[in-house]
Amino acid sequence: MISSSSRVFLFGYGNHGKPIGKGLSEDGFYIVIVESDEKNRQQAVEDGFEDTYLVDVTNDEHLMKLDIKPEDQLVCVMDDEHLNVFLTLSLRSLFESCTILSISDSIHTTQKLKMAGADKVIDLYEVSANRIHSILKRPVTTKLLEGFVGDQHEISFREIMIPEGSFLRGVMSDEYNFEQHGVLLVGMIDQELGNSFVFATTGINHKLDSGDTIVCIGREEELNAFENLIIQTEEGGDRS
């Protein structure tokens, strides 16, 4: 849906925006980075993006000064999902003719973004689930780790078994904030359900228990830290 004949304004250069920006740039797109955080903007400069702006994305006057043209394409990838929805709404109001793409990490956010005027919403959960579903006939470890780890985005999948005494034991899957650890929950393997794989996108609020296996997506270092946290919790007792 993104055309290489126009500029791509990438709003956000954080956890989501950085790999997306690099990937689009490598594919030959002209990228304009718009950030509300100076540290992230500076990181974009260090990564080779010359056209960068530090903007208060909640201020319409600041957005108007970006000189966005009707043929330009706007990609909203702010790490804060509430800010991403607000930004999408503002951009649609200010630039009616532009194509707006936004990312979402939940069904509820996807609905909000569509209502806000996004032409296309990329649901991170849906993308992850669909990629897994396409190779379900293979063993679990193989189907998750073979063939679709995006090296350029440094994204991996990880199976983590919940041990006895883990702080995740008894937690409802839809209520725990996995994002605080920099990972997204794709689904889980419930031994009580015959080791069936349950996608997070099904909307089922599943109670996690010891022996269950959760499947998460994220950067390698964050997945390692999250897995170590679970192990340390088991060894050190209940988490306060």
CATH (one of 3.40.367.20, 3.40.50.720, 1.10.540.10, 3.30.160.150) for 7-118: 3.40.50.720
Query: What's the confidence (pLDDT) of residue 140?
Result: 40
Nearest to 73, CA basis, from 123, 34, 116, 19: 34
- pTM beyond 0.85: the answer is no
Q: What is the DSSP string of 34-94?
A: EES-HHHHHHHHHTT--SEEE--TT-HHHHHTT---TT-EEEE--SSHHHHHHHHHHHHHH
Cβ atoms of 51 and 77 within 8 Å: the answer is: no
CATH (one of 3.30.70.1450, 3.40.50.150, 3.40.50.10090, 1.20.140.90) for 137-236: 3.30.70.1450
Domain(s) of CATH 3.30.70.1450: residues in the chain? 137-236
Question: How confident is the chain (240 residues) per 10-residue block, as mean pLDDT?
Answer: 70 91 88 96 96 95 94 93 93 95 84 90 66 42 40 66 88 85 81 65 72 84 89 49
Nearest to 73, CA basis, from 53, 97, 57: 97
